[in-house]
Structure 1
Amino acid sequence: MKNYIGVGVSIGVLAGIWTALSTNITSITLITWVGFAAWACYFAAGGGVTGLRNGLLSNLSGAVYGWLVVEFISHVAFKGNLAIAVGVIAVAMCLQAGWAPLSFIPGAFVGAASFFGAQFAFWPTVTALVVGALFGFASGVLGEKIQAAVVRPAPAEVPTAPAV
């Protein structure tokens, strides 16, 4: 059986905690939807330690690329500057996939889109990406433990002596 029960319960509980933390309990600026995007990238990048590393590092690289676009267009003004900058970072986000830790291309696009969607708030975006990825990792680990507790393997059949 797939790990759906365990991961479903762990994500449900942690999603509630994440939402509470990111919306009204703390004074830390946590962008709820950005955290969920990073959380999804953790699973989409394969889960486990590799999914955490590849998903999060790709997300963070995308946020940095987004920041570079904003810096470029704020210093270099001409018609089409945004289109050119976005085109250049799109190429870079694909080319970086040649290095394993940055190989999850969708993660880089999610990181850049999160930065843009968060209205260029770099540190709040980065914080939400990191915390969201960590919640993803925690939900994966917790999900496996819950699944193991819920689904017990069938007992092995005891061989019987042949009839005489």
Structure 2
Amino acid sequence: MSVLVAIAITTGILSGIWGWVSVSLGLLTWAGFLGCTTYFASPQDGVKGLALSVATNMSGVFWAMVIIQLSTIAGAEVIGYVITGIVATLMCVQAKQTWLNYIPGTFVGSCATFAAGGDWQAVIPALIVGATFGFLMKASGLWLHQKINQPASAMETAKAD
């Protein structure tokens, strides 16, 4: 079995579980899938990839709230666009920091916050749990691939003879 098929199988199983968990806990299912996608697309794997995904998603939530709050205060629609442009620039510049250097993760967190109408309290747990599910999907797929494709031990080979 290829790595891709193994990850596909565990992703399918855990996606169904995520759907049930998210509904059971009142989490935004779609936002969790964005967190999961952030992990899968992360330039890093493992726990470092999970940490990078969560950190950048959370910074995106923060920046979205900055845009929402400042635009509300400004009142004029055109000022909101200027604020958005300035903040989007800052979202990219923050990537100078190693732990925030995954710009798409930042934009995913921001977009999720806008899509939820600024309800950051609903977005944050869904993104975090979703990213964790992404980590588990890939890790369990790699485990499955290894288990299925590991060579038979000498004892198993001797029994087969």
* TM-score (norm. length: structure 2): 0.87
Shift of 1:2: 5.0
One-letter code of the match for 1:120? Answer: G
Q: Runs of at least 4 residues of structure 1 off by over 2 A?
A: 152-155
One-letter code of the match for 1:126? Answer: I
1:120 to 118, 121, 130: 118
One-letter code of the match for 2:12? Answer: G
Tell me whether 1:16 sits opposite 2:16 in the alignment: yes
Tell me whether 1:144 sits opposite 2:142 in the alignment: yes
Alignment correspondent of 1:162: none
In structure 2, what is the Cα distance between the partners aligned to 1:153 and 1:82? 60
Against the structure 1 CA distance between its residues 131 and 91, is the aligned structure 2 distance closer, same or farther, given a 3 Å change threshold?
same
One-letter code of the match for 2:87? Answer: I
RMSD: 1.8
> For structure 2, which runs of at least 5 residues remain unmatched after alignment?
154-161
In structure 1, what is the Cα distance between the partners aligned to 2:28 and 2:70? 25
Say how many residue pairs are matched.
Answer: 153
Shift of 1:79: 3.7
Taking only the aligned residue pairs, the percentage that are identical comes to 32
Contact 1:57–1:102, Cα closer than 8 Å, also in 2: yes
In structure 2, what is the Cα distance between the partners aligned to 1:154 and 1:95? 51
Against the structure 1 CA distance between its residues 151 and 68, is the aligned structure 2 distance closer, same or farther, given a 3 Å change threshold?
same
Alignment correspondent of 1:39: 36
More helix by share: 2
> For structure 1, which runs of at least 5 residues remain unmatched after alignment?
156-164
